[in-house]
Chain A
Amino acid sequence: MRLIDIAHAKSGDKGDSVNIGLIARDRSHYALLEREVTADRVAEHFAGICLGEVRRYELPNLGALNFVLESALGGGGTASLRVDAQGKAMGEALLLMEIDA
Chain B
Amino acid sequence: MRRDELKTVRVANGQAFWGDSPSAPVAQVRGGDIEYLTLDYLAEITMSVLRKQYERDATAGYAKDFVGLMSEIMRECIERNIKVVANAGGINPEACARALLEVAEEQGIRGLRVGVITGDDIMGQLDDLLGGGVSLQNMETGEQFDTVRDRIASANAYLGAEPIARALAEGANVVITGRCTDPGLVLGPLMHEFGWQWDDWDLLSAGTIAGHIIECGAQASGGNFQGGWEKMPDLAHVGYPIIEARANGTFIVTKHSGTGGAVTTATVTEQLLYEIGDPTAYLSPDVTADFTSIRLREVGEDRVEVSGAQGSSPTDSLKVSMAYPDGFRGSGMITWAWPDAIAKAELADSILRTRLDELGLSFRQIRTDLVGYNSVHGRLTPPASDPSEVVLRVSVWADDDRTVRRFAAEIAPLVMGPPGFTGLLAGGRIQPSRVMAYWPALIPKSAVHPQVTIRERA
Contact = CB atoms under 8 A, between A and B. Distances in A.
B401 interface: no
Given A14-B275, A23-B273, A81-B397, A61 B367 contact: no
Interface stretch (B20-28, B62-70, B115-123, B290-298): B290-298
A51 to B, nearest CB: 12
A79 to B, nearest CB: 5
Contacts of A93: 376-377, 380
A77 B273 contact: no
A57 B280 CA distance: 9
A15 B140 contact: yes
Interface string B423-456: 0000000000001111010000000000000000
A61 B294 contact: yes
A12 B273 CA distance: 9
Nearest to A82: B367
Contact of A25 (B44, B227, B380, B382): B227
Given A64-B269, A77-B44, A13 B275 contact: yes
A49 B380 contact: yes
Contacts of B378: 48-49
A21 B273 contact: yes
Nearest to A12: B275
A36 to B, nearest CB: 17
Nearest to B281: A57
A89 B377 contact: yes
Contacts of A96: 377, 380, 382
B294 to A, nearest CB: 6
A63 B265 CA distance: 11
Given A78-B438, A83-B371, A83-B376, A17 B140 contact: yes
A97 to B, nearest CB: 9
B132 interface: no
Contacts of B45: 77-78
Contacts of B376: 83-84, 89, 93
Nearest to A67: B273
B56 interface: no
A19 B278 contact: no
A15 B365 CA distance: 17
Interface in B388-425: 393, 395-397
Interface size range of chain A in the complex: 35 or more
Contacts of B440: 15
B369 interface: yes
Contacts of A74: 365, 367
A60 B269 CA distance: 12
B276 interface: yes
Interface in A53-94: 57-64, 66, 68, 74-75, 77-79, 81-84, 88-89, 91-93
Contact of A8 (B227, B295, B396): B227
A16 B138 CA distance: 12
A46 B395 CA distance: 22
Contacts of B277: 14, 19, 57, 66, 68
Contacts of A48: 378-379
Contacts of A59: 273, 279, 291-292
A15 B438 contact: yes
Contacts of B272: 21, 62
B257 interface: no
A45 interface: yes
Contacts of A91: 226
A9 interface: yes
A10 B365 contact: no
A72 to B, nearest CB: 11
B292 A61 contact: yes
B161 to A, nearest CB: 21
B227 A23 contact: yes
A78 B393 contact: no
B273 A10 contact: yes
**Ranked 5 nearest A-B pairs via Cβ:** A21-B273, A8-B227, A12-B275, A81-B395, A10-B270
Interface of A: 8-10, 12-17, 19, 21, 23, 25, 45-46, 48-49, 57-64, 66, 68, 74-75, 77-79, 81-84, 88-89, 91-93, 96
Given A8-B227, A21-B272, 5 more contacts: A23-B269, A49-B378, A49-B380, A59-B273, A61-B295
Interface of B: 44-45, 140-141, 224, 226-228, 266, 269-280, 291-296, 326-327, 329, 331, 365-367, 369, 371, 375-380, 382, 393, 395-397, 435-438, 440
5 contacts: A14-B275, A45-B380, A48-B379, A62-B291, A79-B326
